[in-house]
Chains A and B, each alone.
Chain A
Amino acid sequence: MKLVLSEEQEYLRETASNFAKEKTPVSHLRSLRDSEDTNCWDKKIWDEMVSLGWSGILIPEQFGGSDFGLTGISVILQELGRTLSPSPLFATSVLGVTAINQLGNEDQKKDFLGKIAKGEITCCLAVDEGTHHNLSNVELSAKKTKDGWILNGSKVFIIDGASADVAIIIARTSGIKGDLQGLTAFITDTKAKGISIKKVPTADSRNYANFEIKDLNLTSDDLLGNVDDASDSIQKVLDFGRIALAAEMLGNTQEAFDVTIQYLKDRKQFGVPIGSFQALQHRAAKMFCEIELTKSAVMAAMNAADESSNQMERLSSLAKYQAGQTLHLVSNESIQMHGGIGVTDEYDIGFYLKRARVAEQIFGNTSFHQSRYSDISGY
């Protein structure tokens, strides 16, 4: 395992970097927010991403994708993260695709993956039900009926839940809250009778929704994988999501840091650039060290995922923990080092802070991943 990008991955990263700068600078997110766009992402931009093949990066070639690996899609998300570029790429092409890859039968793969690759549908993954991420706390129930299944319960904080065409819903089919086993995945049209969607406007101006599910009737064709057997696969989906999100958070961090370093060079007080003050230099240098560690953790986790290494879970938690901690530090310091303009809405740096706190808690905050790493390592 080498901790460097391949030539093809590097090329993809450059393409994404140019795309982010040209098509979706931070002003793009700002205008979506100001126009109170209900999707919080732009269909035209998404179509362009699809035509570049990004929607199908994790999709096997026989279903219309390029099968280019988690590293491929993660470096794209990292570059998009630099400009806080919103799109269905994460929820649809990382979470949705990985879930269908892991759990779907041939027909489902052919149907859903083919449509995703072509940009005909977007997905969301409905897992959490409480204020904190925890897969084993799923209570939403799926009960067997004569013709199929009936689902009741609620899901919260579903990424792209307010715009997705298709939802993958994790339900409890046996055991009780707290059991990691006894979970089953279903795939359904979000317009199905029985799903009531409540959009959740958030600090980061992205798309989230809560679902109230009342007597949602599904057939056995809507089962994704086997009954009571979704946990291991969903853990893998979540780990892929954590790693890709950690890459995006690294991109958020790098840009907020670069912008702040430039400000330290430009802004003058007492007749000198404020970046000449040692009190600020040492804090900047420490942030730089943390960013270097984050790059390595994210790179190792992406590699582990693509090589199906048995270290993947541990590295996924390390990457999400390290990315979360570093983004937390850098997003706070960026505001402080910008001084007064850092807390104005007119200036972009505040957007990074708002994105940071949302991303930090998705699929486990630093405390969750510290605890998980500890358990896996046997401390």
Chain B
Amino acid sequence: MSDLKAFRDEVKDWLEQNCPPTMRTPLVADEEVWGGRNAKYKNPESKLWLKRMGEKGWTAPAIPKEYGGGGLDRDQIKVLNEELFAIGARPPLNSFGIWMLAPVIIEYGNEAQKLEHIPKIIKGEIRWCQGYSEPGSGSDLASLSTKAEDMGDHYLVNGQKVWTSYADKADWIFALVRTGPKEPKHTGISFLLIDMADPGVTTKKITLISGKSPFCETFFDNVKVPKENLIGEENQGWTIAKKLLQHERNFISNFGLAGGGGSSTKGIVGIAKKYLGEENGMIADSDFRAAVTKHKMKEHAFGLTLQRANDEGAKASAASSIFKFYGTEHNKERYELMISALGNKGVVWSGDQADDNEKDITRAWLRTKANSIEGGTSEVQLNVIAKRVLDLPT
């Protein structure tokens, strides 16, 4: 315990000296940091913050030090997060590399692959995207047909991926490819790392109902991929793919928790009071107050469940599906409540008759509709819970 207290003091001191002033202010939408070869920093302090946190390994505190991570244990990570939260620090780096890829390279990669890729992920030097879904393979992901032919010293990759998040800005892609065309569908898949600067890789943006384009289509046309970029064994990629999905689901489920306090003006309670009026300090519309209360109680219980899973030492597993299902459905409900509270300000698309915050909520509401589809639909999560957790028959 006293070790932990000493660690807390050390963290406090370090943050005091190293977290730049503007990095302690609320995040502005276009100042999010994703790193990568072509990263642009609107605020130079974002770059400095990433550099310092990346060198310390605290962008990925759980990863061992020999690969550039923080090498912290569970209790230390909790302390670090609490201290970051206490000064209102911005996340130094958003990264699919850290959230999804690094843990599976640690588990399934060889030593050379760990040393090559993980430090660059942690420092934000390489930005990764995910190549899983294909036009014909959504929920039935294992039916994927992008093929990788064995050409001796390399694979020749041909095919198309879809819903590749930020592929237009990413440097590398981790992709599921078919290496065993004659094998049953789950046993002919391999997990391959592909440099998107290689000849034959092209991307095209997809515009969503929100008007934004976080996703792309990615095409592979005779792309040569060195054999050393295969993670794990050939034709055993499905196991790695599922593991990575569990990490992805864990991270998406955090959407279920509202950022900031419940009574802040940005939260649903603050919005409801502002737009529907207050009566004795309470939301004036009693039906809406009841709906918000139910929502907040579920959120409270959900947050306690994430905490309990952490306290029990749970790792990514089939149980991640519980959090993915609940967290995303809850986030959708939150935005339905938000635009409902905003009334006619909640459906303004553009122009100056609604303020930026109002218009952001409208767009975010539409974005949440993908939450329960990406990373495996809610229906797929319920299938996983039924079959892998409850052991119900197929």
Contacts and interface: CB of A to CB of B under 8 A. Distances in A.
A224 to B, nearest CB: 33
Contact of B392 (A276, A296, A318, A377): A276
Interface residues of A, number: 38
B304 A374 contact: no
B325 to A, nearest CB: 6
Contact of A318 (B289, B297, B389): B297
A4 B326 CA distance: 22
Interface in B267-309: 269, 272, 281-283, 289-290, 292-294, 296-298, 300-302, 304-305, 307-308
Contact of B290 (A278, A300, A370): A370
Contact of A370 (B262, B297, B381): B297
A281 B304 CA distance: 25
B304 A299 contact: yes
B3 interface: no
A322 B392 contact: no
Interface string A265-291: 100000011011010111011101100
A261 interface: yes
A100 to B, nearest CB: 31
Interface in B289-340: 289-290, 292-294, 296-298, 300-302, 304-305, 307-308, 311-312, 322, 325-326
Question: Which of the four size classes fits the interface of chain B?
Answer: 35 or more
A285 B282 contact: no
B393 A275 contact: yes
A3 B304 contact: yes
A299 B382 CA distance: 25
Interface in A284-334: 284-286, 288-289, 292-297, 299-300, 318, 321-322
B308 A285 contact: no
B385 interface: yes
A46 interface: no
B277 to A, nearest CB: 13
B297 A322 contact: yes
B304 A261 contact: no
B304 to A, nearest CB: 4
A68 interface: no
B295 to A, nearest CB: 10
Given A282-B386, A288-B385, A378-B282, A261 B392 contact: yes
B281 A296 contact: no
B297 A289 contact: no
Most B-side CB within 10 Å, residue of A273, A281, A318, A321: A281
B81 to A, nearest CB: 16
8 contacts: A4-B308, A275-B393, A276-B394, A282-B379, A295-B305, A296-B301, A377-B262, A379-B282
Interface of A: 2-4, 261, 264-265, 272-273, 275-276, 278, 280-282, 284-286, 288-289, 292-297, 299-300, 318, 321-322, 370-371, 373-375, 377-379
